[in-house]
Amino acid sequence: MIEHMFVSELLDQVAAGVSGLLSEDWDAYSEGALSDHLAAMAEQLERMHAAVLGCASAWDGHKAWAFDAAPSAQTWLVANCAMTRPAATRLVRTARHLRGNERTAKALAAGDVQVEHVETIAKVAHGREDLARKHEDALVGAAQRVGPDDFVKVARRWAELADDVLAKAKGRHNWERRHLHVSPIMGGGRIDGFVDPEATAVITAALDALMPPDPKDGDEAPRTLSQRRADALVEMCQRSLGNHGPASRAKSRVDIVIDADTATGKAPTDLLHARCDVGGGGILSKAAVERILCDSAAGYAVIRRPFARDLAHQASEVLDLGRRTREPSAAQRRAVLLRDEHCQYPGCRAPISWCDIHHLDPWEHGGNTNLDNLVALCRRHHVAVHEGGHRLVRGPDGAVRQR
């Protein structure tokens, strides 16, 4: 009873505080003050969400929802907490994960990880619960080092590794899911479907090669990427219908990126830098990589550590050119794009297809055209560095930071 009164008093204080904030005239504050207040409120909202999860974990563990004759925890939340069913499902899944994983619960309570980190862990742990408990330290450790956005990719890679360990036929499952719907609709047709990561990479590479970007100074406005891919698909079909002679099947041309531990069959020691994916397609299982390399013209890049100079390419191309030339070679561009995956300006997630190659130490000031001095930047941030005076450096861990 005493504990109930104490929590009720705390909630009354929270309610009073929120009421006070809702009555504020925010337009009366300066820009700097608004930013500070917004960040502070977001921090408290995050901590409140963590407290809700802690309570929900105990509530679900005791099956308190059953005392109201609710058939499930999700049903009770939808009826009593003004939640959508997807939000209720996410809350219950995350609360149950916390109850079975003590270190994760302690890290969330201490503020060492955020709620979104734990939601991601709970999502990928579904169906892999035993391995998630076994690898809890690695998952929490990775979550402590990166933000929620980057952690999604880390968690997906862990899930693929877990599926390999569990000998699940994820690749076969994706293969069986393949489909392509072409539906005539008023004024045209709609195309949608699903293919596995390897097929995704092959299709996008073929479409983009057939219809490269239009010149910006042409008579007509440049087509969008989606328009170019649509035109390329039609062109491919027209060429196929017009080709009646026998032709040998072309080898697939894709890029495989894999970390050294995974390549040698070891469990990666650092989930943050684990790689096992096909460029332009998505994450693969180790078994899928071995199959692709068995009969294709795949490029095979092994990341040995999170440093640019440690990207080794199967084709034995020269990746360090020193002061011989300012312009990166085709091999260097390919290696940088495979390594960086997106714009490396701090906080930017612009896709790699939007990026230029930038010298961290300017060529005109003695910088080398070597992998560790090259970085992918989207056009906006490339301009910000050159014309805006921003300066980027690569830290000892390989990460790019503002100086």
In the block, tokens 């440690």 appear at 310
At 2 the pLDDT is 47
At 314 the pLDDT is 42
Asked if residues 273 and 142 have their Cβ atoms less than 8 Å apart, the reply is: no
Alpha carbon of 321 to those of 313, 318, 328, 371, 375: distances in Å? 15, 7, 8, 9, 15
Write out pLDDT tens, residues 337-382. 888 888 999 888 888 878 888 999 887 788 888 888 999 998 888 8
Compute CA 22 distance to the chain's CA centroid, rounded to the nearest angstrom. 35
In the block, tokens 């489909």 appear at 179
Cα 309 to Cα 324: distance, rounded to the nearest angstrom:
17
- Please give the structure tokens belonging to residue 264: 């040698």
Cα-flanking dihedrals φ and ψ of residue 158, to 5°?
A: -60, -40
CA nearest to 259, candidates 247, 245, 273? 273
Cα 74 to Cα 88: distance, rounded to the nearest angstrom:
5
Buried b (16+ CB within 10 A) or exposed e, 146-167: eebeebbbbbbbbbbbbbbeee
- State the pairing for strand pair 374-378/392-394: unpaired
pTM for this entry:
0.57
Residue 82 neighbours by CB under 8 Å, 6+ apart: none
Residue 353 neighbours by CB under 8 Å, 6+ apart: 225
Buried b (16+ CB within 10 A) or exposed e, 370-393: bbbbbbbbbeebbebbeeeeeebe
At 349 the pLDDT is 85
At 315 the pLDDT is 40
Residue 346 neighbours by CB under 8 Å, 6+ apart: 400, 401, 402
Residues of the chain with pLDDT under 70: 1-5, 166-174, 242-254, 279-282, 287-324
At 52 the pLDDT is 95
At 224 the pLDDT is 92
DSSP sequence for 114-181: -HHHHHHHHHHHTT-HHHHHHTHHHHHHHHHHS-HHHHHHHHHHHHHHHHHHTT--HHHHHHHT-EEE
At 291 the pLDDT is 61
